Amino acid sequence: MDTFIQLTFQGVSLGCIYALIGLGFVIVFKSSGVFNFAHPVFVMASAYIVAALSPFGFFWGILTAAVCMVAVAIGCELFVLRRLAGRSLYLVIMATLGLSVMGQSAIAMIWGVEAQGSTEGPMGRGVLEIGGVSLPWASLSIIAVSLVLLAALWFFFQRTRMGLALRATADHHEAAMAQGISMRRVQLVSWGIAGLLAVVAGVFLGAFPRRVSPSMVDTALGVLPALVIGGFASLVGAVVGGVSVGLMLVLGAGYLTSFGGGGLYVVLPYVAMLVVLAVRPSGLFGRADVERV
């Protein structure tokens, strides 16, 4: 029972990271119709920046990463993806994959391919013991900060003018424009938010397995099944999908060690995703039409 509680806790904290990454994908997708395969690279780049600058102060690192990532995200939107508006989904995906390849090789040129230090900062490596269960402080902070961030995002989307504009845009581009909403501003804001979310997710992802390495891109891409399970166009779906994928990965890793060579947990989210696709193709929280026309 202790193991189960422990694993569930770890799963939820990994799930929170996936939820943050997933929100970065969904917010951009809803506002500009771009499915940004470069987002995992944003996540990894912020982790590298924070890890490199943490000797000078953890929060300076986060500040620098935040400025850089917002600039990079907005730059990608302005100089590449805005020019591809109205082109087929496939070409847009290809452009973000090209950006992803560029970002990955740029990072490897700057920092090499070996693992760097962790980004735990003040979260530390301490452990909180409750009964027989040991809960790392890092995981506790991940869950706490994620909850605060989700609440802030909810407030932004439901209670502010800009949030309303973003929701209107997501519902119907033309109708939103007819109401005088500036599409350019909405898209810049949503890419900026995605950049910020990438920084938080990057810091957490670098603190959770305690190292920053090129394989973070693959870890972050693991959010895709979460998005399908939740539905690409749903913010709630991204959070629910993210947490369930986190749980599947950690519980699977804990309990399925004796089946299929011990690596079976890696494919669990994809199997769950295929089941969801077969039963309810628009995802648990999605609407039927998410096609970009």
Partner 1 sequence: MTTQTLPAPPVTTPTPATRRPRRLLTGLLVVAMLVVPLVTTPQWQAIWVFSAIAAIAAIGLHVLTGLAGQVSLGHAAFVAVGGYTAIWLGEDRGLPLWVWLPAAGIASAAVGLLVVPFAARLRGLYLSVVTLAVLFVTDYIWNTWEGLTGGTNGRSAQTVQLFGHDLFDDVAFGPFLLSADQQYFYLACAVLGVGALAAYNLARSRPGRAFGAIRDRDLTASVVGVPVARMKSAAFAVSAGYAGVAGALLVGYQTYAVPDQWSLMLSVQYLAMIVIGGMGSLGGAIAGAFFVTAIPQLVALLAGVLPGISTTPTTGGGITTDLLANFLYGLAVVVVLVVEPRGLAGLPARIGSVLRRKEAKA
88 interacts with partner 1 by CB under 8 A: yes
Map residues 7-46 to x or -, x wherever contact with partner 1 holds by CB under 8 A. ----------------------------x-----------
The binder of partner 1 chosen from 10, 46, 100, 118 (CB under 8 A): 100
Q: Which of the stretches 49-57, 140-148, 245-253, 274-282 binds partner 1 when contact is defined by CB under 8 A?
A: 274-282
The count of residues in the chain is 293
- 243 SS3 class: helix
Q: b/e string for 143-171 if b means 16 or more Cβ within 10 A?
A: bebbeebbeebeeebeeeeebbbbbbbbe
The binder of partner 1 chosen from 18, 111, 208, 285 (CB under 8 A): 111
**Cβ at position 284, least distance to partner 1 in Å:** 14
Q: Are 127 and 136 in contact (CB under 8 A)?
A: yes
Q: Which of the stretches 53-61, 83-91, 195-203, 236-244 binds partner 1 when contact is defined by CB under 8 A?
A: 83-91
Which tokens go with 281?
């193709």
CA distances from 81 to 78, 136, 187, 188 (A): 7, 40, 11, 11
Cβ distance to partner 1 smaller for residue 88 or 179: 88
Q: Are 80 and 95 in contact (CB under 8 A)?
A: yes
Cβ distance to partner 1 smaller for residue 33 or 192: 33
- 135 SS3 class: strand
**Residues near partner 1 (CB under 8 A):** 35, 80, 83-84, 87-91, 93-95, 97-106, 108-114, 218, 221, 224-225, 227-228, 232, 260-261, 263-264, 266-267, 270-271, 273-274, 277-278, 281, 290-292
